[in-house]
Amino acid sequence: MNIPHKIFLYWLLYITVIISAITAATLSGLVSLVISHDHSYLTYVLIGIYLLAELLTAKQVISTNLRHKEISDVITWLQKNIIKSITIDKKQSIIIRSYEDTLIIKKGLLTELLLSFTDNPNNCGIKQIDQGILLNRYMEKLYRNANICEFLSERIEVIGILATIIGVTLAFWPFLQPGMNIDMMREHVGQFFPGVAVAFIPTAVSFVFKLVLDVNSRILNGGVDEVLDMTTNMCVTYILPFLESNPITEE
């Protein structure tokens, strides 16, 4: 039985803590209190964006976990075998053969990276380009999806600032009317507190969500960093030395 990558275990721990916190807040009445006093409905928007960020991050955590396992299996195979040939089949899968065994790497980011090291499958020798550029391109593809959570987290922060502006405007607008006096201010006091609620409740919610998603992003980026390090070490240690004098051929 394969032990899940630690990023997945960290993420499961994170989700457990979040669910426990939400359950406690719901049972204590805090959630209903927040929603009922936010007349701008921005809290609903924040909750929706937060849930979307969590779902997308969950997808990326699972994807990163699978990619980590794939590269880990490849490294384990390379440590036990000496490469005899590297070929590509019609399904764009990379086939690595040794004298005793065969390894198949299915089409994906890793196969794209390996193929990018050569001019084309029929040319012998490694591509005459800085391999660091190709690895950086691979890194960008890995981080592109991981940054979705950070993007949504920043949007949550912007909505929190917007809620503050709207709330303060609603709270003080009645008192800025021409000819306002003490008696008229007393009449409009009841409109002050709903505006304050709009200013502070969504802002506080956005702050909590931003803090939580930052932790989530840190877990995911840590997993991506590890995948990138493993891929780089694998290429430098095993793949590139072989491709310096051998081609990737088609089957």
pTM: 0.75
Report how far apart, in Å, the C-alpha atoms of 134 and of each of 115, 117, 118, 130, 230 are: 10, 8, 11, 7, 15
* 138 compared with 69, residue with greater pLDDT: 69
- Token pair, residue 141, equals 């593809």
Minimum mean pLDDT range among 33-47, 56-70, 198-212: 33-47
> Measured on CA atoms in the order 74, 76, 79, 80, is the torsion positive or negative?
negative
CA nearest to 220, candidates 145, 135, 141, 157? 145
If one counts every other C-beta atom within 10 angstroms of the C-beta of residue 177, the result is 10
Give me the percent of the chain exceeding a pLDDT of 90.
Answer: 6
Q: pLDDT tens for residues 78-99?
A: 999 988 888 888 777 888 888 8
Instruction: With both helix axes pointing from N to C terminus, report the angle between 42-80 and 189-234 in degrees, rounded to the nearest 10.
Output: 10
* 187 compared with 136, residue with greater pLDDT: 136
Distance CA 172, CA 88 (A): 69
Degrees to nearest 5, angle at CA 70 with 66 and 74: 170
Q: pLDDT tens for residues 160-169?
A: 888 888 777 7
User: Residue ranges per domain, the chain?
Assistant: 6-250
